[in-house]
Structure 1
Amino acid sequence: MSDTPLKSDQNTLPVPMAPAALTETPSPSARDGFHETIDRTLASVQARMTMGVSPYAAASAWQDWALALSRAPGRQTELAERFWDNQWQAFKGAWDADAGFKPAPGDHRFDDEGWTAPLARVFKQNFLAADDWWAAATQPQRGMYQRNAERVSFMARQTLDAMSPSNMLWFNPEVQRRTMETGGQNLVNGVMNLANDWLSECNMQCEESSGDFVPGRDVACTPGKVVFRNHILELIQYAPATEAVQAEPILIVPAWIMKYYILDLSPENSLIRYLVGQGFTVFCISWLNPGAEERELSLDDYRRDGVLAALDAVERICPDEKIHACGYCLGGTILSIAAAAMARDGDDRFASITLLAAQTDFSEAGELMLFIDDAQIAYLEDLMWAQGYLDQRQMAGTFRVLRARDLVWSRLIRRYFMGEEEQEFDIGAWSKDATRMPYRMHSQYLRSLFLENRLTAGRFAVEGRVIALKDISAPLFVLATEEDHIAPWRSVYKTALFTDDDLTFALVSGGHNGGILSAPGKKHREYRLGHRPPGAQYVDPDSWHTRYAPTSGSWWPVWTDWLRDKGKGEETAPPGMGAPEAGFSPLCEAPGLYVLQH
């Protein structure tokens, strides 16, 4: 937690004290507290050693694969034939640069011209042959659990990526050439980088930014004020940049797994600054970075004291106007839950709802699902039980593993073999400024949404009553990104399957963060845009993709036009900053205090 004191004022609610005894979430059975504490303490030590990754989940997947293969002699013969065929192809490729195996599209590990040398070709071809064989060997088999097949394939790919000759000092021709050119200075610099990283790891320190991108100075610097604060959020109201603004304000709900300023990075790629410049009154939630004392914060606390509390404040500051709500990533998920509960209860304060790279159905949630089962969640729960939260290092490790080739091994080559210092940029600095996850909330989120998929299965209850997304009547703008490893676009598209209202779906180029940061003027940007009127028949994602051709450019202007169309189309004088008469006086300048907590 930050050492920055929070001043007491009329907009501040007291931070609740941690309960004297932990109430388990979930509680599978009543057990003697002393004996259960022994078990969970031991399990938490094991979980810390493995960074929260369950070895039992991995072992069971490999066991399932091996048993399925052992009873399939035809499959064994097929793989044996493929092995010898691959050896022949690799042999030809070692002698002829135009023959043999080629790296997959997007694989740049062997781009350097040094890999065309005869000896380097031998290493490359043998690796690519093994890569091809394991890709075939880990395909799903009859009688094998699909999840286990996907998990084995993922683990095999990760192991092979680690063993790539491009990661070996004595095999990589680019590293060898740099060593000759610098007289070995690159390796000296690499050893120093390795020592510094090792010391930081031993001290349990998170990666730190170079200081070139400081919130409030270089990033998160759109002018505004904190107009409301409670124990879970600060609400920022941004200063108007135009003489007149759209009547309806925008409330942005970011994910609590990240600092909000991914949407307010450098001025040239800040979505918030763009919205303000387009004549919108913008509010944004900045979540608390919780510590062990917030271990009992629940998923419903984020809905009630987060989304609804911010919505109430915006309503008081901009009275008599409906509100455009926008949720990003997990923020979109909790916004969907809040909107469905509001619709059930007859609360129609939303003029529209925008979901950016946000999932409501988790049955096809991508490679993150490889880490989610009962054994894995129990492991994480034990880890969080001991700490009170899941910290930045443990979460960052999971996301790096998903893209290890780019985020782990390429970095290893640059930093330790080439001896290069990493050039800091705004989104990279932001990615190091992560937040923690409270124990109770994260356990509920993983079990009720990721594991049990209750929201779209009609089993997610709010205040004791089940909610349904199809009750939402406000127009929806749902956006997904083509290369998203966290919220795959087909998973995001499933919002169309569980809603009946007016829905616009956009598929944009880029990844989970880069696709969102698509300011006008950026090169190589495109989007597909489709509209479904209320009551229209469902169109599957592949048919949708075929139906709508890509358009070059940024999706930002398209979205702001959509927001204007879903409002009254009226302009008015900008509202005041906060509403002192209603108890919402400005507390401090943006970006506030919570975003500075570490």
Structure 2
Amino acid sequence: MIADLTRRLNEAAEKMVKGDVKPTLPFDPFAIAQATSDFAMGLAMKPTDLMQVQVAAAQQWGQFWMGALSGKETEKPRDRRFAAPEWQDDVYYRAIRDAYLLASQQLRDVVALSKDSERNQAMVRFLLDQYLNAISPANFAATNPEVVKRTKETNGGNLVQGFAHLMEDIASGKGIVQRRTDPTAFEKGKTIAATPGEVVFENELFQLIQYTPTTAKVAAEPLLYVPPLVNRYYMIDLVPRQSLVKWLVDEGRTVFVISWVNPTEAHKDKGVGDYVTDGIGAAIGEVRKRTGQSPDLFAFCLGGTLVAIALAWLAAQKRADEVNSATLIGSLVDFADMRDWSAFVHEGHLAALEDHLESQGFIDSLELQRLFAAMRANDLIWSSVVNHYLLDRPAPPSDLLYWFEDGARIPAAFLKSYNRDLLLSNKLKEPAGFEVGGVPIDLAAITTPMLVIALKDDHVSAWEAVYRGARDISADFILGGSGHNAGVINPPAANKHGFWMNEKQPANASDWLASATRHEGSWWPTWIQWLTGNGSKKSVAARTIKDGIEPAPGRYAMMK
């Protein structure tokens, strides 16, 4: 094993020496350096504020040591890194934990003193969080009680095997921590993305999947799902007990799904407009042709942003009746409040990314995964470091993580336009600020009934920002529990997460939540009620598939 690892490490080193590593970077290191420099200079200009923070910190440390030396028990934090009972019950580990959390909060308080631009502040916060996440006592063998216990049980075997895992990952050339889940636990089309259906249409951008009905009668209005580009469509078709697609089919709905192609260099010039017209527009036309009805669209994340653009595009051409309703889940249409993601929407980073895109024609899925993982480093990076390199635990099977790691590329033209026109310039906020094929896009012109669903713990699309967007486009609004991905996968049988509703829509999101009513369980049945209320309430005979091209999930979902 050692000889094989040595050989693979040498091969990885040779690739680096020969220049096989991409010469460009998808970010600008000078922008990071400038942001940190501006922060330091700004801090130096506020000696009084800094002194107040230091005095407060001294008082906090005094109180900490008095409590630690007396063995005083502190409140258990809601932090999965410190879930082991020893972190709370053992005085030694509790003191280590609390000291780390206190120091972390104090450093964040210092960063909060900055009056710099939001993008610079976000960059500094991001860098600080990466540092704090990395130095957590949970990440080190000597200060993690679970690792200490495991090392005693195996006489250090876990650390030896964990080091072998580390060497193997480095030798792979893809970096460390590639085993968040067991990659052999699922097989697309058999155990995941396995709801029976057929590909019924395809073009160079997408395949259209129609699912086999399981009821004799179905609602007249078909459903059409528009996924984001960064991952495959089947987040809504995980294992059967978690599959939204299966649940909808069993509820008597005709379900169609767009499965985007995994772009290559040949798709380099495909932009946002192409995905709206040749993607969503073409799919709507095909669904209407096959069913004789205008579909109810539903979409997730970036897919929802594209649907909003598509609705405005149709409205501008007097074709709004081609869509019956639209549901946007975890989607932004107003990018003024991007929270920590604004760290990456910076002129320097965008210019560097465009150079990087020019060299290969697309952004690679692995690069996108690393970015998303960095934003949730404790869950997606450091937990794997602890489990695989320190505890020597096998990666557990997770259908959601399997989907997350089955990423897709994004074409250069699409990402350039999306980054500059939507994220940086926020042109969807302006009437006719953005165009698709020469057609001005005005979200205020949309007359289609719309429902926006936000997720309370969403780390990608902050629910408050999603709420403000819902008000801007006069949409109904539901707030679901949990995070960006897990909050969507909420089957009623699981009875998890809960959701909030409020007929009023005050200007402030916190005011909406304060007066909202919380409901237990899943928002899925409430969504079905909303669809029914905005539909014809008619049923038709189940739509059988007689001209399928190939079984679901189709070739595009299998593309590497």
TM-score, normalised on structure 2?
Answer: 0.91
Residue 171 in 1 paired to residue 143 in 2? yes
- In 2, Cα distance between the equivalents of 1:450 and 1:114? 41
Query: 1:538: Cα distance to partner?
Result: 5.2
- Aligned residue among 66, 83, 94 for 2:68: 94
- Aligned residue among 320, 333, 343 for 1:360: 333
Give the unaligned 5+ runs of structure 1.
1-40, 579-584
- In 2, Cα distance between the equivalents of 1:538 and 1:342? 29
Q: What residue number does 1:11 align with?
A: none
Q: Superposition pairs for residues 206-245 of structure 1, below 5 Å?
A: 210-245=183-218
- In 1, Cα distance between the equivalents of 2:472 and 2:343? 24
- In 2, Cα distance between the equivalents of 1:224 and 1:577? 8
- In 2, Cα distance between the equivalents of 1:345 and 1:279? 32
Q: What residue number does 2:52 align with?
A: 78
SS at match of 1:419: coil
- Aligned residue among 65, 68, 84 for 2:39: 65
Q: What residue number does 2:516 align with?
A: 548
Q: What residue number does 2:470 align with?
A: 496
Query: 1:427: Cα distance to partner?
Result: 0.8
- In 2, Cα distance between the equivalents of 1:443 and 1:197? 32
- Aligned residue among 388, 410, 433 for 2:383: 410
Q: What residue number does 2:444 align with?
A: 470
Q: What residue number does 1:30 align with?
A: none
Q: What residue number does 1:582 align with?
A: none
- The question of whether the paired residues in 2 share the 8 Å contact of 1:140 and 1:150 is answered with no
Amino acid at match of 1:595: A
- Aligned residue among 123, 126, 131 for 2:104: 131
SS at match of 2:476: strand
Give the unaligned 5+ runs of structure 2.
1-18
- The question of whether the paired residues in 1 share the 8 Å contact of 2:177 and 2:381 is answered with no
- In 1, Cα distance between the equivalents of 2:168 and 2:299? 38
- In 2, Cα distance between the equivalents of 1:126 and 1:590? 52
Q: Superposition pairs for residues 364-383 of structure 1, below 5 Å?
A: 364-383=337-356
**Higher mean C-alpha displacement, 197-206 vs 476-485:** 197-206
- The question of whether the paired residues in 1 share the 8 Å contact of 2:238 and 2:399 is answered with yes
Q: 1:267-290, CA deviations, whole angstroms, 9 ceiling, x for partnerless residues?
A: 111111111111111110000001
**Higher mean C-alpha displacement, 167-176 vs 309-318:** 167-176
- In 1, Cα distance between the equivalents of 2:113 and 2:87? 37
Bigger helix fraction:
2
Query: 1:212: Cα distance to partner?
Result: 1.8
Amino acid at match of 2:29: P
Residue 511 in 1 paired to residue 483 in 2? yes
Q: Structure 1 pair 531/117, CA: closer, same or farther in 2 (3 Å)?
A: closer
Q: 1:550-579, CA deviations, whole angstroms, 9 ceiling, x for partnerless residues?
A: 00011111111211221111111123426x
Q: What residue number does 1:21 align with?
A: none
Query: 1:494: Cα distance to partner?
Result: 2.0
Amino acid at match of 1:557: P
- The question of whether the paired residues in 2 share the 8 Å contact of 1:286 and 1:594 is answered with yes
Q: Identity of aligned pairs, percent? A: 31
- In 2, Cα distance between the equivalents of 1:495 and 1:84? 43
- The question of whether the paired residues in 1 share the 8 Å contact of 2:312 and 2:441 is answered with yes
Query: 1:388: Cα distance to partner?
Result: 1.3
- Aligned residue among 260, 275, 280 for 2:233: 260
**Higher mean C-alpha displacement, 187-196 vs 113-122:** 113-122
Q: What residue number does 1:29 align with?
A: none
SS at match of 2:413: helix
- Aligned residue among 547, 553, 556 for 1:591: 553
Q: Superposition pairs for residues 411-490 of structure 1, below 5 Å?
A: 411-458=384-431, 459-490=433-464
- The question of whether the paired residues in 2 share the 8 Å contact of 1:232 and 1:302 is answered with yes
- In 1, Cα distance between the equivalents of 2:84 and 2:67? 16
TM-score, normalised on structure 1?
Answer: 0.86
Query: 1:217: Cα distance to partner?
Result: 0.3
Q: Structure 1 pair 312/102, CA: closer, same or farther in 2 (3 Å)?
A: same
- In 2, Cα distance between the equivalents of 1:179 and 1:376? 43
Matched length: 539
SS at match of 1:484: coil
Q: What residue number does 1:157 align with?
A: 129
Query: 1:114: Cα distance to partner?
Result: 5.5
Q: Structure 1 pair 433/564, CA: closer, same or farther in 2 (3 Å)?
A: same
- The question of whether the paired residues in 2 share the 8 Å contact of 1:249 and 1:323 is answered with yes
Q: What residue number does 2:312 align with?
A: 340
Residue 200 in 1 paired to residue 172 in 2? yes
- In 1, Cα distance between the equivalents of 2:131 and 2:333? 32
CA RMSD of aligned residues (A): 2.3
Residue 313 in 1 paired to residue 266 in 2? no
Amino acid at match of 1:516: V
